[in-house]
A = this chain, B = another copy of it.
Amino acid sequence: MIKCPKCREVEFVQKSGIVRGKQRYFCKSCDYHFTLPEPPNPTEGKRHHQVTIMDIANQLGISKSTVSRALRGHTDIHAGTRKMILDLAQQLEYQPNPLANALLKSRTNIIGILVPEFRHYFFPTIIMGAQEVLSKAGYNVMICQSDESYETEVTNVKALMSSRVDGLLVSVAAQTNNVDHFRAVLRKEVPLVFFNRVCPELETPQVIVDDYNGAFQAVEHLIEQGYRRIAHLAGPISLLVSRLRLQGYLDALQKHNLPVENGLIIHYDLTEEKARIYANYLLSLPQPPDAIFAINDPTAIEIMLVAKSRGVKIPQELGIVGFSNDPISSIIEPSLTTLEQPVREIGKQAAHLLLHQINADVSEWKPVHQVLKTHLIVRESSRKEKVTNEPA
């Protein structure tokens, strides 16, 4: 009944256990184990067989190598053959499979971008800038957001690394104190560039703006406008950008011989709720500040809303300055004084630095620190002296 597929005998075949649910046989004659091959199921064919280089080769009766050469634009090929291949490829809507290529070359042409959030104007704009130069260079981007959480950031970095991105563009989360996950990236020699929220302890390229001078200008402007008790709603001390802006604030006070009150300096985690809470706290002090320099525009906006809800008059009773020139700062009333920074340019520069790292050998990597200029835009929220421009 059962015929040995090797010696074609029947009589020497005997049962020999069951493997994975299928009866196995043993042919004593030719000492051969076997199971009956199942007839292939014709109902379930290939899902959607993407047209490959082999389809073209078979259809044309040539080899895959030749097709590859034609598609790659190699010289080693007859003009007629090339045309034939190119025509058929177009007709079949052939699209090269980037996975095979990526596997072979171990590069995916994907760049990972990791930002704390992208609800506001700032990070989306940076991403747009980066995307502009990256897509020109033939790269796609994969965007993740850490939500300011250290754990999420670690998870995201791992996910991006496991996706084998060719490089990483990162702005670190507010809660991040440990940068081992970025060290792991560098250990695997994957190019890494920071922007805005950078890691000074790591030897990587980074793009920031002149945070110190920006903050200095902002606070000096407030002082010149006559404000004297200037508070600073700062970012977490772990971020360099927070420390730099804080230093600018401190030095501006010092230059003008104003006392530093620690109670007027608040570090917070950059969440909306906390901004509101601390704004309320500051304004309900027995001696409330007469101005607040905020780490960024969303923070400044929150402060402004709290002040308005408490009936505090801006800029008469409270001056406010933000940072970044979010479009909303010119829309809100009173309009917000802020520091303009070339947001889109930050993304472009970061992308350029990253591309440079990618195309260079690891030994040539240079931790370039790019610093872009800021520019103070004075609007209503800090213009105490309304008469400046009027004739005497």
A residues touching B (Cβ–Cβ < 8 Å)? Answer: 47-48, 50, 93, 95-100, 102-103, 106, 108, 110, 118-119, 121, 124-125, 127-128, 131, 135, 140-143, 145, 159-164, 184, 188-189, 301, 305, 328, 331-333, 362
Contacts and interface: CB of A to CB of B under 8 A. Distances in A.
B99 A161 contact: no
A96 B163 CA distance: 9
A164 B99 contact: yes
A142 B145 contact: no
Contacts of A128: 118-119, 145
A99 B103 contact: yes
A162 B95 contact: yes
B96 A162 contact: yes
A270 B342 CA distance: 25
Contacts of A143: 141-143
Contacts of A47: 106, 189, 362
A331 B301 contact: yes
A162 B50 CA distance: 11
B331 A98 contact: no
A304 B67 CA distance: 60
B96 A99 contact: no
B119 A163 contact: no
Contact of A103 (B97, B131, B142, B331): B97
> Can you list the 10 inter-chain pairs with the closest CB atoms, starting with the nearest?
A48-B189, A99-B103, A333-B333, A99-B102, A118-B124, A95-B162, A143-B143, A142-B142, A99-B99, A103-B103
A121 B121 CA distance: 9
A342 to B, nearest CB: 16
A163 B140 contact: yes
A97 B164 contact: yes
A253 to B, nearest CB: 30
A188 B48 contact: yes
A145 B143 CA distance: 12
Contacts of A333: 332-333
B95 A161 contact: yes
A106 to B, nearest CB: 7
Nearest to A308: B333
B140 A141 contact: no
Contacts of A95: 161-162
B124 A121 contact: no
A142 B165 CA distance: 12
A175 B275 CA distance: 40
A194 to B, nearest CB: 21
A131 B143 CA distance: 10
Contacts of A127: 118
Given A48-B188, A119-B128, 19 more contacts: A47-B106, A50-B188, A95-B161, A97-B103, A98-B163, A99-B99, A99-B103, A103-B103, A110-B142, A119-B125, A131-B145, A135-B159, A140-B159, A141-B143, A143-B143, A328-B331, A331-B332, A332-B332, A332-B333
Contacts of A305: 331
Contacts of A110: 142, 163
Contacts of A97: 103, 164
**Residue with the highest number of chain B CB atoms closer than 10 Å, among A118, A135, A333:** A118
Contacts of A332: 331-333
A25 to B, nearest CB: 21
Contacts of A189: 47-48
A96 B158 CA distance: 12
A226 B121 CA distance: 36
A188 B131 CA distance: 27
